[in-house]
Amino acid sequence: MPVFGIGIDLVSVARVRAALERYPERFRNRVFTPEEVRFCETLGDKYPSYAGRFAAKEAFSKALGTGLRGATGWTEIDVHDNERQRPTINVTGRAEKILAGRQVHLSISHLPDYATAIVVIED
């Protein structure tokens, strides 16, 4: 399997929680898709899941080689999981064009204080 890119990110759950509490609508709408918000809001402790998705988006943008400053947008990256299967990433817009059909592998892990994600994109 030739590798196009690898990305990893580590996020403080408290930092994501603070942003969600201080700017609830603005932060959610800027960073997360409606599907991600619906999923996270069903959980008893939603903040680790929000942080995991944040880390996954950062890791994906690193693996793609674009970052999240203009080349792709936060909501063009949609992280899916239902706690019964491994998480997946769906992309739209500019991210989809740059990804060009390549296979994406994602792993997310979180503890009460930190969330991490790693992304591998096959070439």
Where in the sequence numbering do the catalytic residues fall? 62, 110
The edge-to-edge listing of strands for the beta sheet with 3-12 is 3-12, 114-122, 104-110
User: Residues 6 or more apart from 79 whose CB is under 8 A from it?
Assistant: 36, 52, 53, 56, 57, 87, 88, 89, 106, 108
Contact in structure between 3 and 122 (CB atoms under 8 Å) = yes
Phi/psi of residue 22, nearest 5 degrees: -80, -40
Contact in structure between 119 and 102 (CB atoms under 8 Å) = no
Coarse DSSP helix, strand, coil percentages of the chain, rounded to the nearest 5 percent: 45, 30, 30
